[in-house]
Structure 1
Amino acid sequence: MSTKFRAAIIGSTGYGGVELIRLLLSHPNVEITSVISSSSAGTPIADGYPHLNQIMLDKLDGIDIDEIKQKSDVVFIAAPHGVAIELAPKLLDAGLKVIDISGDFRLKSGEVYEQWYKHKAADPTYVEKAVYGLSEVFADEVKGTEFVSNPGCFPTATLLGLVPLVSKGWADLSSIIIDSKSGVSGAGRGLSLTSHYSEINENFLAYKVNKHQHTPEIEQVLSRVAGEEVVVTFTTHLVPMTRGILSTMYVNLKGKHTEDEIIEMFQQYYEGRRFVRIRSKGKWPATKEVWGSNYCDIGISLDERTGRLTVISVIDNVVKGAAGQAVQNLNLMMGWDEGAGLAFTPVYP
């Protein structure tokens, strides 16, 4: 009989869910005991994802709380926004650990959630229970908790590039501008005109300008770290690649700091956190250099002429921006090696 920790994945037919399968199949402490999809229940997972043929023989289950409770210790919810609002409380009340990859429990204000997500907010009792799982910043809060709200992909790349500056008090909080680019997988597997090959191929476009739902998430965390309200300008772009996010942040500095001093401060902030890699002076990261991995690579450049700092942060949006960080959070919750199941070298070229 297996003594491994039992995991269920709700939303197994989406990109986040199937990436969780890939990562957890290599996890030394975890066994996938249930893959769940309300739309494809009863069909083999490999029907939708032939790359799992003879690897995952499971047929997809439907959503049955009692059955999930019997078969699982932790449940990953990789479903569209709105699903976890109903499911997470039931799973928690059943005594299960929950890691929600959607945005349903990230924002502490129900009013703000409804404004940006256009959906009724979750029960505030459960919103308060949810720990925001930005692994490198809030690890101590994640340890031992029962309920993690996994950060969004854009906020992960952006916040890891900004939090050290804000926590140190070196950033002019009124000056923050964020320019982010994402691969098409960030839109999910569902069909849309924007992600249609002939629309995105050889194209490059901005979308949800000043309206992206990750804006209040970024502001909430920066405000918490700063101890005062932070408002940012955040613009997202879609680029014709499958995976990857590149966030470029522009910040005016408070006080006089050299580029070497700033790089050293970042290195010290993330010391011992294996998945954040700070580039040396004059080196800037590219999305291909973290592809398929849980790394976030950060490069820093100070324009002494303007006194403005440029921070460039890259992640794989499906791994560090979703499934990988969820596994990292499970490791923290359970007191395991933080890198368990995540020891993947980036795929290159």
Structure 2
Amino acid sequence: MIAMALACEPELLIADEPTTALDVTVQRKILLLLKSLQQRLGMSLLLISHDLNLVRRIAQRVCVMKAGEIVEQADCDTLFNAPRHPYSCELLHAEPEGEPLCRDTRETVLEVDHLRVEFQIGGGLFRRKEYLRAVDGISLSVQQGKTLGIVGESGSGKSTLGQAILRLLDSEGGIRFQGQALDGLNQKQLRPWRKQMQVVFQDPFGSLSPRMSVAQIISEGLEVHSQYDARQCDEQVIRALEEVGLDPDSRHRYPHEFSGGQRQRIAIARALVLKPALILLDEPTSALDRTVQKQVVALLRQLQEKYGLTYLFISHDLAVVRALAHDMIVIKDGQVVERGASHEVFENPQHPYTRELLAAAHPG
């Protein structure tokens, strides 16, 4: 994308959210590349971003917009050190913060033992088959009401691990959920367990069907897994929307009528309506700005406290992981390179790769 933009040797490069949804190490590489190209080609750069860390590292002057208007503009140091407008102050203090909820529980909801996932990447009729091992012997366990953070850069195997745990991908190894071994079950035998394991995906725009109303999206699982009639389904949809802070009267609208943060709340309501024990959160805040991220993290904490939910939280955003996860594992090339209580990993990382991730997230 950057190469295409530079093909005509422009005097101005407009970078519209160039690092959104990228992990911290890739973000740093893209940032260094943009700065290098700007200096070498002598071009101007207009950076559009909700990532204030990125803005601070690359911009000389900053404009803050709200509702289509510029509410403040100043040089970078002045704005970050002495913002004047209340909205600028809100943005600067929108970092997800706080600690995971304290829970005293001994019941293990999920156990994974030496899980392996392979994808065929080569071979044919007369050639030897070649395989890529995306998940290489990972073991983990999660207790009821707690959050396990799964951290790693793009391509490390985080999402593949999550999908394999939910039996959405074929795998080898043991998966035990609420005391039941899932790895040997066929799809028919798995069906009663599906409602207990739900997922919220990264993209709040692509994960909701544009052809379905919010009510249809949220009630879809109820039609499969419950015996509710139409009136009861509607009552459950209303209750789920209230739980995530959305107006139930909006349930007949369509996804394109909502903001990104509201769409992600709809996705959370869809997972919540089946009253699951475990929710896989696959990068649920990476496409959202910091103020909305903070709101979504607060919502997830609130729901966890109220219902004793267990979360598998996949993310490359270390600030969000620190605010939500009790324990965490760090994955590189399909293997766990570090594990432990979140606060211990953040304060005293042991593996060089973990230290690299933390350094990329907090430069200087």
With structure 1 as the length reference, what TM-score do the two structures score?
0.30
Q: Which structure has the greater CA radius of gyration? A: 2
Q: Could you say which structure has the greater relative contact order, defined with CA pairs below 8 angstroms and 6 or more residues apart?
A: 2
With structure 2 as the length reference, what TM-score do the two structures score?
0.30
Which has more helix, going by share of residues?
A: 2
Which has more strand, going by share of residues?
A: 2
